[in-house]
Structures are given as structure tokens and as C-alpha cells.
Amino acid sequence: MSTTQSTVETTVAEPLSAAEVQRLRLDFPILGEQVNGHPLAYLDSGATSQKPLQVLDAEREFYLHENSAVHRGAHTLAALATESFENARATVARFIGADDDEVVYTSNATEGINLVAYAMSNASAGRGGAAAERFRLGPGDEIVVTEMEHHANLLPWQELAARTGATLRYIPIDEYGALRLDEAAGIIGERTRVVAFTHVSNVLGCINPVEHLVALARAVGALVLLDACQSAPHLGLDVRALDVDFAVFSGHKMLGPTGVGVLYGRRELLNALPPFLTGGSMIVSVSMEHTEYLPAPQRFEAGTQRVSQAIALGAAIDYLSAVGLDRISAHEHALGQRLVEGLSGIDGVRVLGPQSGQPRVGLASFDVAGIHSHDVGQFLDDRGIAVRVGHHCAQPLHRRLGVVSSTRASTYLYTTDDEVHRFLAGVADAVTFFGAHA
């Protein structure tokens, strides 16, 4: 089919064994909780993951022994805090195949995308001088996204287009949720300045063909921003191999704390972008008339930083690396296939996105004919099963697929086969229950 999403091959790594998963679960005390009298089955990791003791301990240890402002003081605690903060940055950089000065700490991925979009807006207003001219947008220029984007990778570009007079265009999806790659080449053209798209859809679970889309952007000299929120925690991320200009992801989806995210940018691009937020700790010199800014990453890290969260994110990455992203991916791939196969066998259930046997990460969104997703979610919650319901911050995607909302189950390295079985049984019972009460 011409709209096929990806040529990604099924992973060949050895999945985590049931015994290994049970051992890992001991690091996550919350997974032992009871909800409504049932053992918690947490199938909402796509929204936010649970945190292992090693991550919680890393943040607590910082506050117990090193708490101080970074890049400010000359005393011992300040030096220790700065060293831990920057060591965590180095850990993040290694994890994604970047250099340390190409990693900018943000509050989350949403802030990272807004940072790039607003910095380009500043460049379009004349800020940043000659070096920033490459980011200037105006009438006649185009920004390209896709119809499956999370609102975080849509709204900032809508706003940038509105401020600069540029045009926002999008690559459509077909009835299965796959990108219309046959149309992409006609949409990404000589007027395209930015191409921004998700690596993995937070609704569909599909893995988008990064190489194909990057090649189209490179052919016309456009910049590429990759939303890696649903790929960095599950597939791993090599920004050099993917050849993207910018990438963003959030710590809380990959065992880390809330309040910290990452923006990757090519060094030469970050150093040419005018800053987004301005204030202390990101300057070389300030007079009453003029300011000179530091190079990246500090030029984008104004004010007091999220120090403990960054250190905890480094601990989360160490944890994932020790387990092995390839094995985590294999484990989730198997769970994702079980989700799709099981849901597809329930009358009245429509699975959104790739069907059984096609590449996907370990999540599945679905619609049940005649039953609102909130009712499905509440029925499952009564059995201790936590899932996501709603439009998942992707209203255009749902509208294109003809549904108002959906129910989403998402897995991670700590998810068990039994939890997937309980979930599928719960969905089947929900269909029976609401059907009998229709």
C-alpha cells in the first residue's frame, strides 16, 4: 500500500522474561498498590511512567547532600551541584548520540517545541543578527506538520505562522492512520522552511518513516524537528543517525520526574538561534543598552534550573540503559501485538492505527461502538486497570478517523502479560455490560 508508514523491522532482541519483569517491578513500589480492591494494572505509561526507587533516591540524595544553585557559587556545595547537573547532561547526550552542548534542559517537550518556534519568531522580527537570518519566516514561507500530531507539535507552529505570515500545511493520514507519503513529496516543497513531525504517534502507536521525511526536507533545505516523546523511552534515540536538526522528549515518560525535558539541537543551529527566555545565567555581559548571550546550551537556560529533576533524569536513563532499550523494545512490541490481537477479536471494538503484525510500540487506542471512552475507562478503573481516555491531545487525528475520543492502553518495561490479559477481559466485559444496558 502506498501509504505504508514504515519499513522498521521487528526487533530481534530477546524480550524481557516474565521473571525479569517481576524483578524489575520490585523497584516500583506503586505497582504493588490496590485500586478499588484490585491489584493495580497500570496501563497508562504513554501519559506518564512510574518511577523506580533508583530515580527517587537520586533526587532525594541531591537534596540531602548537594543542594545548591548551579553555575553560580564558588563554594563546595555549588561546585558539587553543578558537577552533578552537568554529569546528567552528559548522560542524556550519550543516550541520544549528541554532544553535551547540544542538550538543552527544558520543563518538558512542549516547552522545547515552543522554544524553537518562538526563537524563530524572534529571528523573524530581526533579533539575532545575520546568524539568525536562516530562521526568518514571512509570507510565502511554509511550515509542514502532520495530521497525527499531538497538540504540542501543532499549536506552536500555528502561532508561529500567525505571527510571521507563513503558511502552515500538513501531511494527511489515511483511514488507517498512516501518513499519506504519496502526498508528502508534493507538500514538502521549495517554500518549506520547517518540517515537524512525531517519531511515534501517541494515539496510533505507529513508527513514522523518519529517514523518508528527513530526505524530503533535506532536498529543499528545510529544518527538521522530531517529537520523540513516545520513542525515546521505548526505542532509543540516535539523533545523528536520524539526521534531524532538533528533537524533544520529556523525562516523566521515561521513568524520570515531571518538570524536566530535553531539547536537542545541532550546535551550529542552537548558537545561531536568538534566545527564547531571557534573564540571569545565560549572558556574557549586560549593559543598560545591550546584552551579549552565552552560547548553547546556557543561552536557553535562563533563571534557576530544574537541578534535582535533571539529576533524576540522568538516573532514569542509567536505569533504562542497564536494562537495555533493545530488550525493552522487544518486550513492548510483543505486548503491543497482544493488545491489538486481543482487541481486534472483541465484537464492536475498532483498533486505531497499525493492525496486527504491523510495527508498533506497546500501546493501542481503540473505539467501542456505542460506548463512550470515558465509560470504558471508568469500567476498567473499577477493576483496578488504569488507562487513558479522551482525544489524547490529538483532536485532528480523531476527527479524521471519525471518532470523538478513544481509550488507550500503553505498556512499559514493568508491564506483565497478566495485566494485558486482565485488560482485554475487562474490555470484553465492558462491551457486554454496556450492550446489555443500552
Catalytic residues: 393
Q: What is the DSSP string of 191-221?
A: TEEEEEEESB-TTT--B--HHHHHHHHHHTT
Owner of C-alpha cell 516523546? 229
Instruction: Give the burial string for 299-308 (b: 16+ CB within 10 Å, else e).
Output: bbbbeebbbb
**Which residues share a beta bridge with 198?**
227
Cis peptide before 297 (omega within 30 of 0): yes
- Give the β-pairing of 261-265 and 103-106: antiparallel
C-alpha dist (Å) from residue 171 to 143, 146, 388: 11, 5, 26
Q: How far apart are CA 219 and CA 60, in angstroms?
A: 48
Q: What is the DSSP string of 113-166?
A: HHHHHHHHHHHHTTTTGGGGGGG---TT-EEEEETT--GGGTHHHHHHHHHH--
DSSP assignment letter at 179 = B
